Amino acid sequence: MKYVKYGKCTCCGREYPAVPDLTNCQCGGILDIIYDYDGIRKAFTKDTLRERPDRSMWRYRELLPIEENTPPTPLRVGWSPLYEEPRLADMLDLKRLWVKDDGQNPTASLKDRASAMAVVKAREAGAKVIACSSTGNAASSLAGNAAAAGLETYIFVPSRAPKGKVAQLMTFGATVISVQGSYEETFALSKAAIEKWGWYNRNAAINPYLSEGKKTVAFEIMEQLDWQVPDYIAISVGDGCTIAGLWKGLKDLHAIGFIDRLPRLISAQAAGCCPLNRAIETGEPWKPMEENTLADSIAVGVPRNAHKALAAIRESNGLTVNVSDQEIMAAQGLLGRTCGVFGEPAGVTGTAGVKKLCEQGLLGREDTVVSVVTGNGLKDVANAIKACGEPITIPSDMDRLLEAFAERGVPVS
């Protein structure tokens, strides 16, 4: 890894050689991967990038912690579309708004970026088995990316995980343990099992390479915007790895001179589970909260990456916003109707947050905003139906159709 210097503890500053199975610092702190930006600046330019045919997260190799000869993972991860949404911008009274649809990754969430990185690092470590605990998407993305690479997976999910995600796991051939308990309890069992059997660890926050995969979402947003920095980037937050990765990617681009300023982050959490935002809002250390929201992917009462996430929000002079389940469901419908983008509840929480900040007058017609949709709605159809309703159900009969239209006031001409 030509441009990786070492892993550095975000708590005590201790440095570690960047071996493939790097985990936490001995003080318990989470590591950050440190790069030789001067070296990268010389070898990697916007022109080099423009000529690169690779349309996946691996097109940013110089900024990633992988060996030069490591092959990319088999599934196409990354390079999801960034749509400008002028009609939604008008409705919200924003200057410009873009939606980054990361539900279009191979297993339908942003987590594919981290899991593809886990597969690469597991291969470099010579591991044959990878394990993780997850609210659902880290699991399904790991199972899919590992299956494509011929690796075995052991997956721990809380029993509340939506059926779509569990179906993905079973289809990808993972050994799935559905834990009757909270995400916190699920995490604890996976940790004990990983220690017992020595599997490669894809647990969020423990493996410092995972955020390095997630940061590619920032690279893509900026490249797709032709390096014109938006005022804000909104994203949903659970463990905090995603927002920390997003921020790392932006700082990387700033450090190598690809962008001349940094956007402000918008950290969106569910009102029923917002320990990180509450810490920012009160100025106090974060405290555990109940996991009280239908947005299962961000129902994280004990965030695993609090330190990096809080630092990212603070450094970016970011905004926090907490949305109710009602507001999340409304955002599902809004994105669907106006953009044709189908997000799972946690996937649209960032957009729900943007809408709420507009209503509160904290965002307005001077502002340009990117909202990241982090997961696809097909993963959780039960909640989508709850949010957007049931169809007109009748026999095959024209009279009944006319009746039904009249009853519901459907305009037909």
Position among 112, 212, 239, 367 found at the interface with ligand PLP (CB under 6 A): 239
- Detail the DSSP E strand segments found in 303-359: 319-323
On the CB side of 113, CA atoms within 13 Å amount to 31
Phi, psi at 235, each rounded to 5°:
-155, 150
Phi, psi at 405, each rounded to 5°:
-65, -45
- The partner in contact with residue 9, picked from ligand PLP, Zn ion, none with C-beta cut-offs of 5 to 8 angstroms by kind, is Zn ion
> Can you say whether the dihedral through the CA atoms of 123, 129, 130, 136 is positive or negative?
positive
User: Considering CB under 5 A, how many residues would be counted as binding Zn ion?
Assistant: 7
Nearer to ligand PLP, 136 or 230 (CB): 136
Nearer to ligand PLP, 230 or 275 (CB): 275
**Binding of ligand PLP by 344 (CB under 6 A):** yes
- The partner in contact with residue 344, picked from ligand PLP, Zn ion, none with C-beta cut-offs of 5 to 8 angstroms by kind, is ligand PLP
- The partner in contact with residue 25, picked from ligand PLP, Zn ion, none with C-beta cut-offs of 5 to 8 angstroms by kind, is Zn ion
User: Considering CB under 6 A, how many residues would be counted as binding ligand PLP?
Assistant: 20
d(CA 377, CA 118): 24
Q: Which stretch binds ligand PLP (CB under 6 A): 9-17, 124-132, 248-256, 339-347?
A: 339-347
Listing DSSP states for 20-89 in one string gives TT----TTSPPEEEEE-HHHHHHH--HHHHHT----SGGGGGGGSSS-TTPPPPSS------EEE-HHHH
**Binding of ligand PLP by 230 (CB under 6 A):** no
Nearer to ligand PLP, 256 or 377 (CB): 377
Question: x/- binding map, residues 96-115, to ligand PLP, per CB under 6 A?
Answer: -------------x-x----
Q: Which stretch binds Zn ion (CB under 5 A): 25-33, 119-127, 139-147, 373-381?
A: 25-33
Nearer to Zn ion, 22 or 372 (CB): 22
State which amino acid sits at residue 85: E
The 8-class DSSP code of residue 109 comes to: B
d(CA 41, CA 20): 24
Nearer to Zn ion, 11 or 394 (CB): 11
**Binding of ligand PLP by 297 (CB under 6 A):** yes
- Detail the DSSP E strand segments found in 72-182: 82-84, 96-101, 129-133, 152-158, 175-179
Provide the CA 293 distance to its chain's centre, in angstroms.
17
With residue 212 as reference, give the H or E element that holds it. Answer: helix 209-214
Vertex 171: Cα angle to 168 and 175 (nearest 5) = 90
Position among 21, 29, 45, 378 found at the interface with Zn ion (CB under 5 A): 29
CB-based contacts of 45, cutoff 8 Å, min separation 6: none
- The partner in contact with residue 218, picked from ligand PLP, Zn ion, none with C-beta cut-offs of 5 to 8 angstroms by kind, is none
Nearer to ligand PLP, 32 or 62 (CB): 32
In angstroms, give the least distance from the CB of 7 to Zn ion.
10
Residues that bind Zn ion (CB under 5 A): 9, 11-12, 14, 25, 27, 29
Residues that bind ligand PLP (CB under 6 A): 109, 111, 137, 204, 236-243, 297-298, 300, 344, 346-347, 374-375
